Amino acid sequence: DAGVIQSPRHEVTEMGQEVTLRCKPISGHNSLFWYRQTMMRGLELLIYFNNNVPIDDSGMPEDRFSAKMPNASFSTLKIQPSEPRDSAVYFCASSHDRGRATEAFFGQGTRLTVV
């Protein structure tokens, strides 16, 4: 199994530009999560989907952030317009409900730098 695949691995963009991060979850997993990691705030949950439906987006910082999951094998996180404070590592994770315990598998992340 290829695991969770994220692209790009690194992104450098200028303030004000649109940024799109992509994620392919593990085949068969029915939940997908977008996290942001910074030194100051650690790992923060931005949004998660279950069966392609957004369940909780309360972690999305503001309207500049949006996420979609058009099908079970693809999700995007978009930032428009981007700002320097959005610089962070963005992780996508997927999981499969196993009853009492659910375990998340992470991609390698996208390191975003907004200058």
17/102 with CB nearer other proteins: 102
CB of 81 to other proteins, least distance (A): 27
> In angstroms, what is the C-alpha Rg of the chain?
14
CB of 32 to other proteins, least distance (A): 10
Cβ at position 55, least distance to other proteins in Å: 7
Q: Which is nearer to other proteins, 13 or 108 (CB)?
A: 108
The smaller minimum CB distance to other proteins, of residues 37 and 81, is found at 37
- Using CB under 8 A as the criterion, which residues of the chain lie in contact with other proteins when the complex forms? 4, 31, 33, 35, 42-43, 45, 48, 50, 55-56, 91, 93, 95, 97, 100-109
114: closest CA among 7, 18, 8?
A: 18
Tell me the two tokens of residue 16.
């004000």
Distance between terminal CA atoms of the chain? 36
d(CA 109, CA 88): 10
**Side chain identity, residue 83:** E
